[in-house]
């Protein structure tokens, strides 16, 4: 049945007459009378017995109105709860971040968002670039923080910052003696061929950093001596600090290193990548998603 049916009958009961109910419902009295007459023919009973200037209920009408009131209450409660769920849903933001970047960004992001809007809920998926791209394509994320490349076809994205791709080397390898220093560059530059005989700790395939490193080796005809592969960029950095070998990382991560490590720019020209917020093409931000994205732009 149409919920309008219950509201029309209850309006007549509440107002005491069809004419007053019609005014409340913003319809004409003849239209309301016709609607009720058609409903009575369909149901097989009369709702009202006219008397003393009022529309009084028949026994069937009283039974109907009792249930109609319960139905209207249930309908109201239903939409109240649906709205509550919808509000929660639209306050939920699902984002993807590479594991190492997460260790730097999330401790700043979550407290800032809680202070800005405690009702915001953020779910975070940590993974490598390919995993995050696949999650985006499946619709499991609102957006992800990625480094731009030709692989971002099918996505819309906003640039946040630009990061340098750097070589990490234990200081006892003394590569600094072979590096070139420029006031215009944040780190010394080195020809990667000077490191071709050194051991390397590499991220697994699927990480954007690994793709860049493999391309760099290929361009310089280097077959690297890989002594360890890891899924975790922090592990790679710590192994460099421990003197286990060289590795590659993006500049924002390199700034977290504390000791025993030299940082070099590589490539000619030097290699850099833009950090972007990527989302499925033509998928608009929710209000909550936009709020989280703007905070990331400030903190990243």
All CATH 3.40.190.10 domain ranges in the chain, comma separated? 90-159+274-299
Confidence of residue 171 (pLDDT cuts 50, 70, 90): very high
Q: Which pLDDT tens digit goes with each residue over 185-209?
A: 989 999 999 999 999 999 999 888 9
Looking at residue 163, its pLDDT comes to 86
What are the CA-CA distances from residue 54 to residues 25, 51, 65, 245 (Å)?
18, 6, 16, 94
Mean per-residue pLDDT over the chain, rounded: 87
- Given a cut of 70, whether residue 149 has pLDDT beyond it is no
All CATH 3.40.190.290 domain ranges in the chain, comma separated? 163-273
The CATH class given to the 90-159+274-299 domain equals: alpha beta
Q: Which long-range contacts (CB under 8 A, 24 or more apart) does 208-212 make?
A: 208/128, 208/129, 208/146, 208/147, 208/149, 208/273, 209/165, 209/233, 209/248, 209/249, 209/250, 210/248, 211/129, 211/149, 212/165, 212/248, 212/271, 212/273
CATH number of 163-273: 3.40.190.290
Q: Which pLDDT tens digit goes with each residue over 18-64?
A: 888 888 888 898 988 899 899 999 999 999 887 544 668 899 999 99
Q: Which residue has the higher pLDDT, 124 or 259?
A: 124
187 alpha carbon, distance to own chain's centre: 34
CATH number of 3-84: 1.10.10.10
Q: Which pLDDT tens digit goes with each residue over 62-111?
A: 999 999 989 888 887 787 677 666 656 668 889 999 877 888 889 999 99
| 185-195 CB burial, b ≥16 within 10 A, e <16 | eebbbbbbebb
């Amino acid at each position: 049945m149409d919920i309008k049916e219950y509201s029309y009958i209850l309006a007549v009961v509440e107002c005491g007459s069809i004419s007053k109910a019609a005014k409340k419902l913003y319809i004409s009295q003849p239209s309301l009378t016709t609607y009720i007459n058609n409903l009575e023919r369909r149901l097989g009973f009369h709702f009202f017995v006219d008397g003393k200037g009022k529309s009084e209920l028949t026994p069937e009408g009283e039974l109907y109105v009792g249930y109609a009131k319960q139905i209207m209450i249930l309908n109201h409660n239903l939409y109240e709860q649906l709205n509550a769920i919808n509000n929660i849903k639209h306050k939920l933001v699902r984002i993807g971040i590479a594991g190492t970047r997460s260790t730097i960004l999330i401790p700043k992001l979550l407290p800032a968002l809680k202070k800005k809007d405690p009702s915001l809920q953020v779910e975070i998926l940590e993974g490598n670039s390919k995993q995050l791209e696949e999650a985006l394509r499946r619709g499991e994320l609102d957006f992800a923080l990625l480094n731009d490349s030709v692989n971002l076809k099918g996505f819309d994205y906003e640039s946040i910052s630009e990061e340098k791709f750097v070589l990490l080397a234990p200081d006892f390898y003394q590569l600094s003696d072979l590096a070139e220093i420029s006031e215009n560059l944040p780190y010394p530059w080195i020809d990667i061929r000077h490191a071709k005989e050194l051991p390397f700790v590499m991220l697994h395939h699927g990480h954007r950093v690994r793709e860049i490193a493999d391309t760099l080796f290929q361009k310089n005809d280097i077959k690297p001596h890989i002594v360890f592969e890891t899924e975790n960029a922090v592990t790679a950095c710590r192994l460099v600090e421990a003197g286990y070998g060289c590795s590659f990382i993006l500049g924002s991560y390199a700034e977290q290193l504390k000791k025993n490590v030299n940082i070099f720019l590589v490539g000619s020209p030097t290699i850099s990548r833009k950090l972007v917020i990527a989302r499925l093409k033509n998928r608009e931000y929710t209000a909550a998603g936009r709020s989280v994205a703007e905070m990331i732009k400030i903190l990243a």
